[in-house]
Amino acid sequence: MPRGEGAGDSPSGKPIGRSRSTELVVQKFGGSSLASPEKIARVAARIAAERAKGRPLVVVASAMGGRTDALVQLASALSDTPPPRELDALLATGESASTALLAMALEELGVPAVSLRGWRSDTTAVAIAAALGVPCEIYSDVPGVFSADPRHVQGARLVPCLRYDEMLAYAERGAKVLNEDAVATARELGVPLHARATFADVEGTLVTTDVPRASIVGVAMRRETYRISGSSDAVDAICRVHHGVQRREVAEPAPFAETQFDRGPHDAQPSNRPTRHEALVVLCEGATPDGLEGVVVDGPFATVSVVGARAPKLQNAIDAALEGAGIACREQWIDATSATCVLSPRDAIAALCALHQALVEGRAVTHAPEGARA
C-alpha cells in the first residue's frame, strides 16, 4: 500500500497497514462478541486458532454486552451525580470481568493468558498498537463499516476502506461500529484500524490514510438528541464535564453556541424520555450552577447525516429525497464533510432509508419505505 503524508507509519517510522498472518497485531473484541459464556468460548477458540498458526497477539476485551449499561444504572440508583473517579472505577470492572473470563477460557484451551485491568477498550487497543508499531483490529457482530445501519437499511453496503477523517466524521454523526475517540487517537498516532466480524471470515473495513477519498461514505443517524444553547462559557463548562457532547459554533444568534448530545444507542426505543428539566440535569451533571446560567435545552430531535466529500453539495438532492418520502426537515447543518438534517425522532429511520436509497443506491424515492417509520 502506498504511503502518503507520513500517516500509516508507526512511531518508529515503520510502515504499517493490513496485518499479515505471522505479524504481531492488537485485536479488540466488542461487548456483543462477549455477551455470554458461549460467545466468550467462541472468541477464545478463534484466538487459539490464530496462536496455533504462530501469530503473536495482544487481545483487548470490552465489557460483556449490556454490562456497562447495568453498571451505570447501579450508579444512578445511588447518586444523581456520581463522582467521575468512582464512576470510572466502577465501569472499569466490566472490562476486568470480561478479560478475566476470556483468559480463563484461553487457559482451558491450553493457551497461556494473563489479564490486565483497563478502561475504554477501543482507545486502549489503539494506544497499545501505537506503542508496538502494529495495526489494530476491532471485532464486533458486524463485518465492518456499512453505508448505513444494516439493521434498518436493507440496501446498506460494506465500505472496504476509509480515510481517518471520513471515519471520524461518520462516527461523530452516529455511525457506531468504530468509537470516535479511538478513531481520533488512531489518526493522531498513525495506527491503521481494521473493523471485522468476530464470527465470520470477511475482509471488513480498513481505516487509514493511503486510500482514495469517498464521494459519499454513507448516511448516519442519531435517534434521540438534545441541543443545549447558551453563552460560550456555559457551553464550554458542559463540554468539559460531559463526555460525548459535541460543540458546533453558529453564526446566529451571536454570541451563542450549540451542542448536541446523543443519549444512547440510535436503535433505543423512545420510551420513558426525560422531561426538558431532567434532560438539563443529565446534560449538565457535574457542572457548577454558575456555569449553567443562560443554557437552554431543546429536544428530543433526531439528526440524519450524509457524510462524504460531495455531501455539502447535495442539499437539493437531500431536500428532494425527504420531500418524496413525506418527511419534514426542521433545519440543515452543512460543513466540509457532511450535510445534516434535523427532524422528528419518529422520522429518523424513514429519513435514513430515503437518503440512502436516493444518494447511495441511486434509486428514486416516492414514499417512505414500508415499515421505516418508528
The residue extents of the domains of the chain are: 25-208, 218-359
Cell of 257: 453556541
Q: Is the dihedral of CA 203, 206, 94, 50 positive or negative?
A: positive
Give the helix ranges, DSSP H, for the chain: 37-52, 67-78, 84-108, 121-132, 164-172, 180-189, 232-241, 276-284, 315-324, 348-359
- Report how far residue 163's alpha carbon sits from residue 50's, in angstroms, rounded to the nearest whole number: 28
**Superfamily per CATH, domain 25-208:** Acetylglutamate kinase-like (3.40.1160.10)
- Report how far residue 125's alpha carbon sits from residue 56's, in angstroms, rounded to the nearest whole number: 15
Smallest Cα–Cα separation from 11: which of 165, 127, 158? 127
Is pTM beyond 0.85 here? no
- From the CB of residue 290, how many other CB atoms can be counted at a distance below 10 Å? 9
Taking the chain (374 residues) in runs of 10, the rounded mean pLDDT of each run is 33 44 86 93 95 93 88 85 84 90 96 81 92 95 94 94 95 88 94 94 91 93 79 69 55 42 44 47 53 68 92 93 94 89 93 95 60 49
> What strand order describes the sheet that includes 296-307?
246-249, 257-262, 218-230, 296-307, 338-343, 331-334
Smallest Cα–Cα separation from 69: which of 89, 91, 86? 91
- Report how far residue 1's alpha carbon sits from residue 16's, in angstroms, rounded to the nearest whole number: 9
The SS3 assignment for 208 reads strand
b/e code 125-137 from CB counts within 10 Å (16+ = b): bbbbbbebbbbbb
Cell of 163: 480515510
Q: 218 has which bridge partners?
A: 307
- From the CB of residue 248, how many other CB atoms can be counted at a distance below 10 Å? 13
The yes/no answer on whether domain 218-359 falls in CATH 2.40.50.140 is: no
Cell of 58: 495482544
What pLDDT, on the 0 to 100 scale, is given for residue 274? 47
What pLDDT, on the 0 to 100 scale, is given for residue 327? 95
Q: Is 326 left (phi over 0), alpha (psi -120 to 50) or beta?
A: left
What pLDDT, on the 0 to 100 scale, is given for residue 92? 87
Distant-in-sequence, close-in-space partners of 278: CB < 8 Å, separation ≥ 6: none
Percentage, residues of the chain above pLDDT 90: 49
- Report how far residue 369's alpha carbon sits from residue 349's, in angstroms, rounded to the nearest whole number: 9
